[in-house]
């Protein structure tokens, strides 16, 4: 009687186990990379959507003094944009989210910048807004892809949106 191990090593029956042992780690690394990329892509799309909504909300919140329609005839357009960003990016970690609101007047080309985070909003309630002015909102969110529990290099997702005040 031959030992069982000897029979497996001489035939082809053990080759399946050996091939699986070689291929499985590579397959797991590839699958983990695909899942990590999918999570990061989702975070980028959420961030982009939040910034677009914040810029649209800011631009549409100009006081309707000329008889035009406004979503907010009084209040703070920066706070409104910040609330829109925070509500739209609810599945991102709010304390890691930072954004910059840059407002440019059409007549004088004066630039005003406001900074905020996911948990605080700037105030610009005294900002004189008029039709033709522009607003640019840029948001940054750090991400760290994870592979089998090892954290790699952290990098930042950046989204930017520009709108004209109507």
Alpha helices (H) along the chain: 4-10, 15-59, 77-88
Task: Report residue 42's pLDDT band, with 50, 70 and 90 as the boundaries.
Answer: very high
State how far the alpha carbon of 8 is from the alpha carbons of 11, 12, 23, 131, in Å. 5, 7, 20, 81
Q: Calculate the average pLDDT of the chain.
A: 84
86 burial (CB, 10 Å; 0-12 / 13-18 / 19+) is buried
Judge whether residue 93 has pLDDT over 70.
yes
Report whether 136 contacts 55 (CB < 8 A). Answer: yes
- How far apart are alpha carbons 93 and 139 in whole angstroms? 13
pLDDT tens, 114-145? Answer: 999 878 888 888 888 888 899 999 999 999 88
**Using CA atoms, how far apart are residues 42 and 156, in angstroms rounded to an integer?**
14
Cα dist from 65 to 26, 32, 72, 111, whole Å: 64, 55, 11, 22
Residue spans of the domains in the chain: they are: 46-164
Q: Of 103, 97, 111, 114, whose CA–CA distance to 50 is shortest? A: 97
Instruction: Please tell me the predicted confidence (pLDDT) of residue 5.
Output: 56
CA 75/CA 58 separation, integer angstroms: 11
Write out pLDDT tens, residues 46-76.
999 999 999 999 988 876 655 555 556 567 8
The pLDDT of residue 34 is above 70:
yes
pLDDT tier at 163 (50, 70, 90 boundaries)? very high
Phi then psi for residue 87, to 5 deg, are -70, -35
Higher pLDDT, 30 or 75: 30
Strand partners of residue 100 = 115, 138
């Amino acid at each position: 009687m031959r030992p069982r191990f000897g029979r497996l090593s001489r035939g082809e029956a053990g080759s399946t186990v050996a091939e699986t042992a070689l291929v499985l780690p590579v397959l797991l690394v590839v699958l983990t990379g695909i899942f990590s990329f999918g999570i990061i892509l989702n975070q980028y799309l959420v961030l982009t959507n939040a910034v677009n909504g914040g810029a649209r909300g800011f631009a549409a919140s100009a006081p309707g003094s000329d008889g035009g329609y406004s979503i907010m005839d009084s209040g703070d357009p920066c706070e409104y944009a910040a609330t829109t960003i925070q509500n739209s990016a609810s599945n991102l970690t709010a304390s890691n989210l930072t954004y910059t609101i840059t407002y440019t007047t059409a007549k004088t080309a004066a630039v005003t910048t406001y900074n905020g985070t996911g948990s605080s909003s700037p105030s610009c309630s005294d900002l004189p807004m008029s039709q033709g002015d522009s607003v640019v909102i840029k948001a940054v969110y750090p991400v760290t892809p994870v592979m089998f529990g090892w954290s790699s290099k952290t990098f930042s997702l950046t989204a930017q949106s520009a709108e004209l005040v109507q």
